[in-house]
Amino acid sequence: MNYTCILVEDNILERDSLAMKINKINGLHLKACLENGLEALNYLKKNEVDMVISDIDMPDLSGLALIKSLTNPPVFILTSSFSEHAAESFELDVIDYIVKPVKIERLNKAVDKAIDYLISKNKQLQEPIIKSIVSSSTPTTSEVIRTIGAEEYVFIKENNTHIKLNMGDILYIESLGDFSKIYIVGGKSHMALISLKNLEKQLPSNLFMRVHKQYIVNTLHIKNISASDIRLSNNTLVPISISYKQSLQENLINKKSLTRFIE
């Protein structure tokens, strides 16, 4: 399947260089190269694309302002010569943030991440979400899980504030390059300026498991596991990659499965 994108970059040399790199990525079709945020805004009002690769630092309308101007923005990959805009960018749910100069390997990684997200999003839209009616006097599954993990917690630094996160509240964690996005029960999320690899080393392995190069899940929140993805307690689908499938089978499914016969 081919995915469509536009490129927004005010520097002509960087725009031409990025366009060449984008055209080398299989499965990605570059529909337009635009010089600034205003051009992009007008284009997106009339045309639909799957993703936008945009510079942040542009006159009149920055990449961040462009996202804020859109009611239902496509997936955004932002580029900048500075890392200082990263936290604000991820608060706007950008899929990735690349510090210039943009290398083809880094761009490929960002596009793969965007495509994985689009595939997961389409699955969730296609599959009906079954809502259970639970008595208000009966604790929900999430409430029970949060109680289980309440005694264990970590602190993350976000916008110069140390935020306490209970282990049971964490649903899953997504890699955003050198940053990680932590999704919490109730729809909230937090940005950690820590790579997923380093988070994996610090989180307790009895609760958290790497299931994809981009995802760590809290095993307490797993509802079911299929051949290609995991459904969490909030009905989010997280993909399982081939490289982590065997570890998931051996360290979780096999150990926790009830069998017909035991020795």
Residues 58, 8: Cα–Cα separation, whole Å = 9
Residue 179 sits in which domain range? Answer: 141-256
Q: Are residues 173 and 218 in the same domain?
A: yes
Check residue 168 and give its pLDDT.
87
How many domains is the chain built from?
Answer: 2
Do 235 and 199 lie in one domain? The reply is yes
pLDDT in tens, 63-98: 999 999 998 899 999 999 888 778 778 778 888 899
Backbone angles phi, psi at 195, to 5 degrees: -70, 155
Task: Flag whether 263 is in a domain.
Answer: no
DSSP class of 235: -
Strands of 59-132, DSSP E: 75-80, 96-99
Angle between helices 104-126 and 12-22 (to 10 degrees): 60
Whether 3 contacts 110, CB under 8 Å = no
In angstroms, the Cα distances linking 138 to 101, 134, 197, 222 are 54, 7, 38, 20
Work out the mean pLDDT of the chain and round it to a whole number. Answer: 84
- CATH number, domain of 206, equals 2.40.50.1020
Q: Which residue has the tokens 């089978």?
A: 249
What is d(CA 1, CA 54) in angstroms, rounded to the nearest whole number? 23
- How far is it, in rounded angstroms, from Cα 114 to Cα 73? 13
| pLDDT band with cut points at 50, 70 and 90 for residue 187 | confident
pTM: 0.57
Share of the chain above pLDDT 90, in %: 46
**Last residue of one domain, picked from the residues 126, 151, 176:** 126
Residue 37 and residue 122 in one domain: yes
Choose one of 92, 126, 160: the last residue of a domain: 126
Pairwise CA distance, residues 108 & 235, whole Å? 29
The residue among 125 and 11 whose pLDDT is bigger is 11
Assess whether 118 and 160 both reside in one domain. no
- Give the residue among 134, 139, 96, 87 at the shortest CA–CA distance from 114: 96
Cα–Cα distances in angstroms (integers) from residue 130 to residues 113, 175, 233, in the given order: 27, 28, 11
Could you tell me where the beta strands, DSSP code E, fall in 45-107?
A: 51-55, 75-80, 96-99
Q: Are residues 115 and 149 in the same domain?
A: no
Give pLDDT, residue 189. Answer: 86
Would you say residue 124 has pLDDT above 70?
no
* pLDDT band at residue 170 using 50, 70 and 90 as cut-offs: very high
pLDDT above 70: residue 146: no
For the chain, count helices (H), then strands (E): 9, 15
